[in-house]
Amino acid sequence: MDPFPKDGESAAGGEPSRGAAPSSGVVVQVREKKGPLRAAIPYMPFPVAVICLFLNTFVPGLGTFVSAFTVLCGARTDLPDRHMCCVFWLNIAAALIQILTAIVMVGWIMSIFWGMDMVILASNYSRKGFPYTL
């Protein structure tokens, strides 16, 4: 007989251990780290976000360009420590990247994903019950 019991067995006869303490679970928290361009996407009202998604789908970068002006109207972003004008220019830069790289389809795909992120942020923001500042 093996002097050390195998996993799940007791030392007395090879039966699974009963009454043993359950294995302790580990709580893991995942936090998404956003880059400055991604964090500059404003939290807009849901209808405005859907319009920006529609614009980004058919004219790459146009919805992102429109969303930049919502920042000037007071829309919140995930960059609270940056000035409003800096966040505005980050959104304009994202729109220009989408427009200039749309020729090789990268900008078009990025533009559609950007619009989907706007809608997701708007739906999560409205679900939490936060008032919009627009």
Tokens of 9: 């067995």
Helices (H) and strands (E) in the chain, counts: 5, 0
Q: With contact defined as beta carbons under 8 Å apart, do 39 and 79 qualify?
A: yes
Average pLDDT rounded to a whole number, residues 24-32: 80
pLDDT of residue 1: 52
Q: With contact defined as beta carbons under 8 Å apart, do 61 and 101 qualify?
A: no
Whether the model clears a pTM of 0.85, i.e. scores above it, the answer is no
pLDDT of residue 6: 53
81 vs 98, more confident: 98
| pLDDT above 90 coverage of the chain, percent | 55
The CA distance from 34 to 71, in Å, is: 18
